Chain A
Amino acid sequence: MIDKNRRNFFKTSALFGTVALGASATAKAAPENILSDDRKGVLVDVTHCIGCRSCEWACQTAHDLPADKIHDYHDREVFKEFRRPNNDSYTVVNEFENPNNELLPINVKYQCMHCDRPACVSACIVGAFTKKEDGSVVWNTDMCIGCRYCMVACPFQIPTFDYHKAIQPDIHKCDFCYKRTQEGKLPACVEICPVEALVYGPRTEIIRVAKHRIKRAPNKYLDHIYGEDEVGGTSWVYLSGVDFQTLKFPKHGTKTAPGVSESIQHGLFAYFVPPIALYAWLGGIMWVSKRKNAKQANEEKI
């Protein structure tokens, strides 16, 4: 009985191991996460933004979201309260007091920053998020299971969710107008901005332009390009004349958002070695303890 059990033990262990190895081989189907050299970016120059909210209108229209007439968007009453991107508006403009000139309030547009090393891509349980070659972070809504882990992971609190839909609730966020840019068009917000507070172009060029603006007008700008290094760099970068924290940007270091989490994951699952080793170790203990017990039982019988 014992011998038979032991033989079984090895046989079945081998079988299990093969299955595990097979699984590890297919585990390479990770989400697409490209960091291409000529990825695009947008420079948001907060000092130029006039708060006309045309970008909000353009975004709504480009994404087939409910939109009022563009004229209604010029209403500045909405600035009375701080707004965030929502599941029916992917970009919003907020207003802050200008400490230097109360007649020129500071308007700031918010949307997905399109991180170079996005937390959502790393976090998504089904790998629905993708960092594309052009720098955009987009997601495949057909894969989404609605777990909202991307919302937990996002360092900028950007993805939003249809809480009031019972069927097919979706994640929503700025998609960098992926469809439009693939057709050679500009992102809708960049195209409509009357003062070109948003400049679209290769990210390297964007950073160069931003640095030059700071150099040309050191009194006007803070010597800081928000997003150049934050969370490992973002596709959208910001220039401002006042501290970014007063504009309600989160204070981030240069560490990438998924950094530690991914290293832990990869450490625990490095080619499935640690789990298999644990399995083998426990199996060994089980085998030894079982034999000891059996011996004792035999001795007792004798």
Chain B
Amino acid sequence: MLRYITMISALLLGAVIIFALAPDAIEQQKKDPVTMGGTVKQVQKVKEGSMPADHDKQAIDCKSCHYCEYPTVSNPCLISCPRTDMVSVHHDPSEGPEIVIMDMLPGEWGAVAFTHKLHAEMAEMSGGCASCHHYNTTGPVLKCVTCHEPKRNREDISVPDLEAAYHRQCITCHRQWSRTTDCDYCHFEKGIDADKARKIKMEKYAGKGHPVVLEPERVVYDTDYEKGPKVTFFHDEHVKLFKIDCATCHHDENCMKCHDVRLDKLRTPKDRDYTVKTHKSFDDHHQPCISCHEKDNCVKCHLNTVMERFNHYKITGFDLTKYHDKIACNKCHIGNDYKVKLNSNCMSCHSATFKPGKFNHNNVGFQLDELHADLDCSDCHAGNNFMVAPKCADCHDDFAYPNKRPGKKLMLPNRN
């Protein structure tokens, strides 16, 4: 039983790695010039009716795929793969097949039953579908064999053949994980037919998927920079507050980041403050940060101690936690200029919405009754200063808030 579990988990973890390096290749392709050596190599023939159905509805420059002005069905003058621009449509993992059987190629080994859905889920953490479907037209997801010929001995050698395409996708990650190139890691023995392979695989992986990745709150990097060896990175802020897309930073990541075979254990986000030491070049290390923090100097990030979390109230006196914690910084700090002190008066931002009849006092946990509803804001909020809650006694001698109120007290909506 224990062996069974170990095997399953090993396979799972191995599978996690599959897209690890693929995004690298994709990123490279993005930057590519149009065709090899600047010349168009050959004309790809399109089968009648194989043109994507929603072809004309795509908001893509025609030149991404066609090198001539007026492509026709008989002469689509398609730029040969891989093209400069990636035209990949994102699909949900559940849209794809659960298992893909690969048994087109003859050889020593039998079919491969590829757990497509599982891998697609894993891919969600990095490059998405495009990790493998690195070039796709706008229509349905193409099969590998559309571009990759199943024959090794062929005319066009600029694109790898099908066998190579499959293997490069799988082995590059799997060999890092398992440190083996054994065929039976993926292949069934010869003689096991597609249906049987599918069945065996389905039994093994039924209901299994990659666990949801928990994001670390912060990561502390140990660096060689003497003046400030500690770099603290608040991951949650960057994701939630700055709304930075995962792939912006995690574009050439590999599964080893979590599944570290060197440490022989799974690095889980439980080790929230784990320190990370990687072997990358200066540029590789700094590029993800500098692309935004271009105006900051070293000590912005490099400190002698672990940085404290940014606290808006402590520094500015303006508490964001009440109503403003989900608003992106640059919504108020226009142009990301944080040095300019903003007016903390509500009306300086909310002049359009904070109007009699328009402002919903329910939001602050207070429902105005009809007696008060018609009053002007400044009748209660002297000088339109909404920072200070008005007191009953300011108008009414005989009422003492909070014992007596002009309306009903409400429970504040749960903001968490």
**Interface positions of A (Cβ within 8 A of B):** 48, 50-52, 70-71, 74, 76, 99-104, 184-186, 190-191, 193-196, 199-201, 205-206, 208-209, 211-212, 215-217, 219-220
Contacts of B32 in A (CB 8 A): 215-216
Residue of A nearest to B158 (CB): A209
Q: Residue A220 contacts which of B28, B167, B279 (CB distance < 8 angstroms)? A: B28
B176 at the binding interface (Cβ < 8 Å): yes
Q: Is A219's CB under 8 angstroms from B28's CB? A: yes
Q: Residue A194 contacts which of B171, B176, B279 (CB distance < 8 angstroms)? A: B171
Q: How far is the CA of A215 from the CA of B84 in the complex (A)?
A: 12
Contacts of B82 in A (CB 8 A): 216
Given contacts A48-B168, A50-B175, A217-B28, contact A208 B36 (CB under 8 A): yes
Q: Residue A196 contacts which of B25, B37, B152, B279 (CB distance < 8 angstroms)? A: B152
Q: How far is the CA of A196 from the CA of B168 in the complex (A)?
A: 9
In order of increasing CB-CB distance, the 3 nearest A-B pairs are A196-B164, A52-B181, A103-B176
Q: How far is the CA of A211 from the CA of B24 in the complex (A)?
A: 19
Contacts of B28 in A (CB 8 A): 216-217, 219-220
Interchain nearest-CB distance for A68 vs B (Å): 15
Q: Residue B181 contacts which of A51, A99, A100 (CB distance < 8 angstroms)? A: A51
Contacts of B108 in A (CB 8 A): 70
Q: Is A104's CB under 8 angstroms from B37's CB? A: no
Q: Is A216's CB under 8 angstroms from B176's CB? A: no
Given contacts A52-B181, A217-B28, contact A186 B37 (CB under 8 A): no
Task: Using C-beta atoms within 8 Å of the partner chain, give the interface range for chain B.
Answer: 20 to 34
Q: Is B181's CB under 8 angstroms from A215's CB? A: no
Given contacts A194-B164, A208-B36, A220-B28, contact A50 B171 (CB under 8 A): yes
Interchain nearest-CB distance for A199 vs B (Å): 5
Interchain nearest-CB distance for A259 vs B (Å): 30
**Interface positions of B (Cβ within 8 A of A):** 24-25, 28-29, 32-33, 36-37, 82, 108, 152-153, 157-158, 160-161, 163-164, 167-168, 171-172, 175-176, 179-183, 256, 261-262, 279
Contacts of B181 in A (CB 8 A): 50-52, 74, 194
Contacts of B157 in A (CB 8 A): 199-201, 205-206, 209
30 contacts between A and B (CB under 8 A): A48-B164, A50-B175, A51-B181, A52-B181, A71-B182, A99-B279, A102-B279, A103-B176, A103-B261, A103-B262, A104-B175, A184-B153, A185-B153, A186-B153, A190-B152, A194-B171, A195-B167, A195-B168, A196-B152, A201-B157, A208-B37, A208-B158, A212-B36, A212-B158, A215-B32, A215-B33, A215-B36, A216-B29, A216-B32, A220-B28
Q: Is B167's CB under 8 angstroms from A194's CB? A: yes
Q: How far is the CA of A283 from the CA of B258 in the complex (A)?
A: 88
Interchain nearest-CB distance for A183 vs B (Å): 11
Residue of A nearest to B261 (CB): A103
Contacts of A200 in B (CB 8 A): 153, 157
Contacts of A190 in B (CB 8 A): 152
Contacts of B180 in A (CB 8 A): 74, 76
Which interface residue of A76, A99, A217 has the most chain B CB atoms within 10 A? Answer: A217
Q: Residue B171 contacts which of A195, A201, A206 (CB distance < 8 angstroms)? A: A195
Q: How far is the CA of A24 from the CA of B77 in the complex (A)?
A: 60
Q: How far is the CA of A206 from the CA of B157 in the complex (A)?
A: 8
Residue of A nearest to B154 (CB): A201
Interchain nearest-CB distance for B116 vs A (Å): 21
Contacts of A185 in B (CB 8 A): 153
Q: How far is the CA of A216 from the CA of B261 in the complex (A)?
A: 31
Interchain nearest-CB distance for B115 vs A (Å): 20
